[in-house]
Structure 1
């Protein structure tokens, strides 16, 4: 790595129930659990999709039933997959909810669908359709 090279490691989000979120991201979206840990301030887990990941955080003393206020800054996570519709179906089986169905956008060479995780964070699933190796 050169002195000027930067890579994105992970983003961190507050969740209401760590086990529920782990089920959603690993079982539903295909992320891999890297590690689970506890600090004096919170319990957390890091899950990865490729080299980038998400740190799922539950601050100590937070109620698992209270949905955290997301504010108005974070918009979405974008995940690349060859089959957005299949990932959306699987993710919904693990507590996600469809926001907009996987739809082909020929002008952009993509299929895009949006779902919400169990805490309401948005995930945009993108599949390339303009790849000559892609049979669609």
Structure 2
């Protein structure tokens, strides 16, 4: 059996990103570490996680070029609107407010993290 453990993404400010994902989105900080080429932190939501990487030689004033391949991260939460509101207080930007979609039986909203990665917040409606 194979499981996906981590997805690694480049960030512009490691402290800001850790705070956004932990305090804003409810992830848990697993560990931080430094290598000769980057500093990183691993944050987890359940068994899945993100490795937030700040390259040592990167010009952090340049925003990351996400290209056109990575679309979004999907996060399941009991209350998408509340989670998005909390994440917004830690640097997130709402792209699409959380709204009920009766055809899917879900509430869905989209927010960008401080580096522009899209996060889709999904929760079942009663």
Deviation at 1:82, TM superposition (A): 0.6
Question: Residues 39 and 53 of structure 2 are in contact (CA less than 8 Å); yes or no, is this contact kept in structure 1?
Answer: yes
Aligned to 1:133: none
Structure 1: how far apart are the matches of 2:59 and 2:108? 34
Q: Could you state the TM-score of these two structures normalised by the residue count of structure 2?
A: 0.97
State the number of aligned residues: 126
RMSD across aligned positions (CA): 0.7
* Structure 1 residue 106 corresponds to structure 2 residue 63: no
- The answer for the alignment partner of 2:5 in structure 1 is 9
Larger Rg: 1
5+ residue gaps in structure 1?
Answer: 130-135
**Runs of 4+ with deviation above 4 angstroms:** none
Q: Distance in 2 between matches of 1:22 and 1:64?
A: 16
The answer to whether the Cα contact below 8 Å between 2:37 and 2:57 also exists between their aligned partners in 1 is no
| Cα shift at 1:7 | 1.0
